[in-house]
Amino acid sequence: MAGTSAAKGPSYGQQFQSALGQLPSPVTTPVRSAAFQAEWKARTEARVRIFCSLNRAGNALCAWHDSRRERRTYPPRMAPAGYLNCGCTYEEALFEESLARHGVGSYHPGESVRMDPALRNPLLKLLERRYGYRDGDFERDPITGNWIEGEGAKPWEEKVMAGVSASRRRPDERR
């Protein structure tokens, strides 16, 4: 019997290793012009104003911590630049919101599924390290690098001008 298994070909592990060698390396989205980079920065800044702004109690919280009565890392209005009162970074909060818009977890308070920071944060770090992820990458066309319709800076800046509180409400709560 030992001779028959060798006649069948390489083992599963060998097949797996050879298949890995045939996989293409990840394709990076094309780098854009300085004007596009400026728009990207404006888009991210608008999203920070929407999703990382202080609430009435003086706290800025990611969606995960907003739904929990846990002790805050920083007192009201005392979080360092780039951090929320819950201890999460702006990047982590924006990543959580972006995932929710793509059906991974849920951003809106009151909905049952959210992205636990214990999963969200290592996933974000992996994507940043391996693929150079930054806020907005999921909203760009992977071939052209352009924004998907409605995802550039202008729509987000319009949401800021319309009022942050209206944009954070669930669609069924809007009037």
- Three state DSSP letters for 102-121: CCCCCCCCCCCCCCCHHHHH
Does residue 130 lie within any of the structural domains? yes
12-27 pLDDT tens trace: 444 444 444 554 555 5
Structure confidence at residue 167 (pLDDT): 43
Length of the chain: 175
Q: Is residue 126 part of a domain?
A: yes
Residue 113: domain span: 40-51+90-170
21 three-state secondary structure: helix
pTM for this prediction: 0.73
What torsion, rounded to 10 degrees, do the Cα atoms 25, 27, 31, 32 define? 180
Our count of domains for the chain comes to: 1
Task: Indicate whether 144 belongs to any domain.
Answer: yes
**DSSP letter (8 states) at residue 44:** H
Residue 140 lies in a domain: yes
Predicted local distance difference test score (pLDDT) of residue 13:
46
Q: Name the 3-class secondary structure at 40.
A: helix
Residue 85 lies in a domain: no
Query: Is residue 134, in this structure, part of any structural domain at all?
Result: yes
In a domain, 33, yes or no: no
What is the pLDDT, as a whole number, of residue 82?
96
Residue 94 lies in a domain: yes
Q: What is residue 172's predicted lDDT score, i.e. its pLDDT?
A: 43
Counting as low any pLDDT under 70, the low residues of the chain are: 1-31, 106-113, 164-175
